[in-house]
Chain A
Amino acid sequence: AQSVTQLGSHVSVSEGALVLLRCNYSSSVPPYLFWYVQYPNQGLQLLLKYTSAATLVKGINGFEAEFKKSETSFHLTKPSAHMSDAAEYFCAVGAETGTASKLTFGTGTRLQVTL
């Protein structure tokens, strides 16, 4: 079975500081990994995805993530936090079931950005 673990349910950074949100995965097959962002009372929006093409993946809003097989990690980073980045972030691993592209989500990390 595939799973993801997000370390830190809450992360607080100052505006302009580095954002680092951690995600570790467990998978017996090469994983497909996703980061989604959820703003209050909104659906989930895809930030970026890893599908084995390149280990460093660039996404929207200045975010990127690096796939490290040796560490089974897919951490999300942004060099300089902005107030608008405050949201819930979910890491997910994809699996094919025969009829769907199923996602197994982590428990989420709430990012707070302070002045």
Chain B
Amino acid sequence: DAMVIQNPRYQVTQFGKPVTLSCSQTLNHNVMYWYQQKSSQAPKLLFHYYDKDFNNEADTPDNFQSRRPNTSFCFLDIRSPGLGDAAMYLCATSRDRGKRNEQFFGPGTRLTVL
């Protein structure tokens, strides 16, 4: 089945220690998104890629970076995690950029910062 895969499902890191979360997709979708979701809140978009074109949200902290080396993979790098970065991180894809295109979500990576 075509899907969005996130690894690992649970990640524990130390305060200030860089961490990378990964996402892969077998849907061959053009757009990939990264969301941060804190407890009992809606997902908050951090950035997205349209093909190789990176698009950052205005309020995404500089601490968060992303890479998309090819169509299938996308990475979220947190350079110096703080306690406030503990959250669920969701990767999503959409076939294209039109507003009728629904997003397909991965299962998420829950990040704990000690």
Interface residues of A (CB under 8 A from B): 32, 34, 36, 41-46, 49, 51, 90, 94-103, 105-108, 110
Least distance between B95 CB and chain A CB atoms (Å)? 8
B98 within 8 A of partner (CB) = yes
Q: How many residues of B contact A (CB 8 A)?
A: 31
Is there contact, CB below 8 Å, between A45 and B42?
Answer: no
A-B pairs under 8 A by CB, number: 79
Whole-angstrom distance between the alpha carbons of A101 and B98 in the complex? 5
Is there contact, CB below 8 Å, between A34 and B102?
Answer: yes
**A-chain residues with CB within 8 Å of residue B76 when the two chains form the complex:** none
B70 within 8 A of partner (CB) = no
Since A94-B100, A101-B99 are in contact, a sample of 10 more A-B pairs with Cβ atoms closer than 8 Å, ordered by chain A residue number, is: A44-B90, A94-B101, A96-B99, A99-B31, A99-B48, A99-B50, A99-B97, A101-B31, A101-B98, A101-B102
Closest chain A residue to B31, Cβ basis: A100
Is there contact, CB below 8 Å, between B102 and A96?
Answer: no
Least distance between A33 CB and chain B CB atoms (Å)? 10
In the complex, which residues 31-47 of chain B have their Cβ closer than 8 Å to any Cβ of chain A? 31, 33, 40-43, 45
Is there contact, CB below 8 Å, between B42 and A32?
Answer: no
Candidates B42, B97, B108; contact of A43 at CB < 8 Å: B108
